Structure formats: C-alpha cells, structure tokens
Copies of this chain bind each other. A is one copy, B any other.
Amino acid sequence: MDAMLDTEGKETSATHGAYRRLRDMILTGELPPGQKLKIEQLRGLLDTGASPVREALSLLTSDMLVERIDQRGFRAAPVSKCNFEEILLLRCNLEETALRASIANADATWEDRLVLRHHHMKKASHNGAHNFEDAHKAFHMALLDNSKLPLLLRYCSQLYDLNIRYRYLAAGGSSYKKRDITAEHQQILDAALDHDADSATRHLIDHYRRTGEYLSSQMET
C-alpha cells in the first residue's frame, strides 16, 4: 500500500531482501566482525519491520556469518586466523571432491556453461568490483555444480562466502593482488575442459593455497 515505488520488482519478500543486504554488509565488512547487531538499528538501516530483520539474522546465523548470543541478541561473527585456516582446509577438501565429481559427469552443456562463466568473469574484471565478485563466484561454482551433489555445493558456497569476507577485511576488497589470477583461472578451466581431474584439482588447490598464504600473512596473529 505504501511502498512499491521501486521501478522494478527486484525482491520478493522483505525477509529475503533483508537477508541479502545484511549478508552483503557483513561480507564486505560494512558491518565489522564482532559488531553488535541491534534490531532497531538494522530496522532503520533497511527500513523494514522487526520480524524480517529477526528472520534474516536467524538465517545468517546458520550461514555462520552471525552469532546468536543466548537472550542477548545477535552479533556479526568474529574472525580469527584459526577460523580462516579452517575455512581454507575445508575448501580444499570439499572443492576437490566436488570438482572431481563434476569432471566425472562432464558433458557438453557443462563445458559450455564453464566457458561462458569464465568469459563473463574476464569481462567483469575490467569493470566494477562488486560485479567481479559475483562473476568470480559464479565461475567457481560452475566448476563444481556438475557434481550434482546439492549438499556439497551448499557447503562449498557457504565456505566461499566466509572466505570472501577475509579478502575484504584484509585488503579493503580490491588489493586482491592481481598476481596472476587470470592465468590460474585459465589453467583450471583448461584442465577441466580436458577432463583432467588431477591437473584441475591441483591448479584449483594451488590457487586457494596461494591466496590463502597471502591473506594469512596479512593477518595479525
């Protein structure tokens, strides 16, 4: 009755919208680790009711981006070197499993999808930053999603997001040293298109370990 001023219906439910926006703010560090998340404050920020905010925070709790403290409300999940290293370990383990399964199921439509995602990612790397993050994730998930293992993909996606957060925190989001990430991605793609599981996983894991070491070195003890 009141709103609907949006020129385009972009979000279905208020809850989902709040979820997406809060998630974004936590991933980018706009809401820093450990910060108390007061309902009223967020209600103002997102201008919506308390119920959608609460529900969004509940969902984020299960993504491990928000912690619920007894009866004392919510806070953005804290970070630590320990936590970062666990994320890296699990990603290497789970993504290897997923990538091998993906390659085992390889077919032409998957290869097409991969090539497309890779192309879009390259194109986006010339443009805006946030845009690139989305395309980067889409490429990495496309590598894995032919495994047809939804639980595994969900975990990979969650861990990817948790990791992204450390990138933003360590470097304001952009430093993300352009190293030779482009070449690394190309190697992974080529190996995947060749159905060479060993080479693809080796390159993928090297890719993670390398950025992992870089970020780890940036972190205080």
Question: Which A residues lie at the B interface, using CB under 8 A?
Answer: 12-13, 51, 54-55, 58-59, 61-64, 70-71, 83, 86-87, 89-90, 93-94, 97, 149-152, 154-155, 159
Choice from B12, B55, B155 contacting A71 with Cβ under 8 Å: B12
In the complex, which residue of chain B has the Cβ closest to the Cβ of A59?
B58
Structural contact, B149 and A89, CB atoms closer than 8 A: yes
In the complex, which residue of chain B has the Cβ closest to the Cβ of A155?
B155
Query: CA A58 – CA B59 in complex, angstroms?
Result: 6
Please name all residues of chain B whose beta carbon is closer than 8 Å to the beta carbon of A62 when the two chains form the complex: 59, 61-63
Known contacts A58-B59, A59-B58, A71-B13: A97-B93 contact under CB 8 Å = yes
Structural contact, B12 and A64, CB atoms closer than 8 A: no
Please name all residues of chain B whose beta carbon is closer than 8 Å to the beta carbon of A54 when the two chains form the complex: 51, 55
Interface of A, helix, strand, loop or mixed by DSSP: helix
In the complex, which residue of chain B has the Cβ closest to the Cβ of A82?
B148
Structural contact, A90 and B59, CB atoms closer than 8 A: no
In the complex, which residue of chain B has the Cβ closest to the Cβ of A15?
B58
Structural contact, B86 and A150, CB atoms closer than 8 A: yes
Known contacts A61-B59, A62-B62: A152-B13 contact under CB 8 Å = no
A82, chain B: closest CB distance, angstroms: 9
Query: CA A64 – CA B89 in complex, angstroms?
Result: 23
Structural contact, B97 and A64, CB atoms closer than 8 A: no
The 3 closest A-B pairs by CB, nearest first: A62-B62, A58-B58, A86-B149
Q: Which of A58, A61, A87, A152 has the most CB of B within 10 A?
A: A58
Query: CA A93 – CA B90 in complex, angstroms?
Result: 11
In the complex, which residue of chain B has the Cβ closest to the Cβ of A62?
B62
Choice from B55, B63, B151, B159 contacting A64 with Cβ under 8 Å: B151
Known: A62-B63, A90-B149. 12 other contacts (CB 8 A): A54-B55, A55-B55, A55-B58, A58-B58, A58-B59, A59-B61, A83-B151, A86-B150, A89-B149, A90-B151, A90-B155, A151-B159
Structural contact, A152 and B90, CB atoms closer than 8 A: yes
